[in-house]
Amino acid sequence: MRELFTRVFAIFWKDLLSELRTKEVATSVLVFALLVVVIFNFAFESGEDTIGLVAPGILWVAFTFAGVLGLNHTFATEKENSSLEGLMLCPVERYVIYLGKLAGSFTFMLVVAAIITPIFLVLFNLPLCLPRLALIIVLATVGFTSVGTLFSALSAHTKAREIMLPILFLPVVVPVLIAAVKATGVVLDGGAWSDMSTWLQILVAFDIIFLVVSVLVFEFVIEE
């Protein structure tokens, strides 16, 4: 168990180090997410009365698109110098690679959310109800990245990588998107915990199911 953790962490750490040195992905994804929020503001011409209706949607569309952009890089970085082969030569089971990569994408998405969400709430003059939003964001991010890491590995071996990932990824994460938007709506309306519990349950169910399935099928995606 401890060995597993050391190895997962080693993969996570080297990805983090690489990203901290280049900051390529983080900056572009952040700017992109912010742009989506701003563009939607124009698209909906959000006045005081309509903002409550469209705000959750804007936030989650921004996250989803930013997520796709970030996930595209999860395995693309391993193609340089064929380092994915180097990883696969290590005496570890394939799912260890999956978990390490997942830890990386999860943290990355969470950082993006942590920066975008407060800006979003301020820009749209919404209540700063962060703790409950944070819970929704964590649960939804687990779902997004568990499926996204699997599909990122898959699309890294396809010809049109950038477009294949969203085509595969978006239909599958529809439940996460619905549940996250609905739960966020409840929070922003100042609703009760009980109103969002159904949505949280869907998120948790999705997270567990797709973590397990991804761990099981990952080796079929990366082997040659």
Partner 1 sequence: MRERSVMLSNILLGLGCALMIAALYLVFIYAPTEEAMGDVQRIFYFHVALAWVAFLAFFVVFICSILYLWKRDVRWDTVARSSAELGVVFTTLVLITGPIWARPVWGVWWTWDARLTATLVLWLTYVAYLLVRGFATEESRGARFAAVLGIVGFIDVPIVYLAIHLWRTHHPPALVGDLVSSMLLTLLVSVAAFTLLFIILLKGSVSVRNMEAEVRHLKDSKMNRRNY
Partner 2 sequence: MAEGDLSPTPWAIETHGLAKSFGNIPALAGIDLKVKRGDHLTVFGPNGAGKTTLIKLLSTLSKPSGGSVLLDGLDIRKTPEQSRSKLGVVSHSTFLYPHLTVSENLRFYGKMYGLANLERRIEEVISQVQLKARLHDRVGTLSRGMQQRVAIARAVLHDPPVMLLDEPETGLDPHATVMMRAVLEHFTSGERTVVMTTHNLARGLELADQVLILHEGVVVYQEVKQEIDAAAFPEIYDRCTGMRR
Contacts with partner 2 by CB under 8 A lie at 3, 6-7, 10-11, 13-14, 17-18, 21-22, 80-83, 85-93, 223-224
Residue 88 Cα distances to 14, 39, 81, 146, angstroms: 15, 42, 13, 20
Give the torsion sign (CA, 87, 90, 94, 100).
negative
Residue 166 Cα distances to 54, 81, 99, 163, angstroms: 23, 25, 21, 6
Minimum Å gap between C-beta 112 and partner 1 is: 24
Minimum Å gap between C-beta 107 and partner 2 is: 17
Contact 141, 110 (CB under 8 A): yes
**By the rule CB under 8 A, 80 interacts with partner 1:** no
Of 23 and 53, nearer to partner 2 (C-beta) is 23
Max Cα separation, the chain? Answer: 58
Chain centre distance of CA 189: 24
Read off the tokens for 28.
């572009």
Could you say which residues in the range 147-176 bind partner 1, by CB under 8 A?
Answer: 147, 150, 154, 157-160, 164, 167-168, 170-172, 174-175
Contacts with partner 1, 110-149, as mask; x by CB under 8 A:
-------------------------------------x--
φ, ψ of residue 212 in degrees (nearest 5): -65, -50
**By the rule CB under 8 A, 83 interacts with partner 1:** no
Residues in contact with partner 1 by CB under 8 A are: 147, 150, 154, 157-160, 164, 167-168, 170-172, 174-175, 178-179, 182, 198-199, 202, 205-206, 209-210, 213-214, 217, 220-221, 223-224
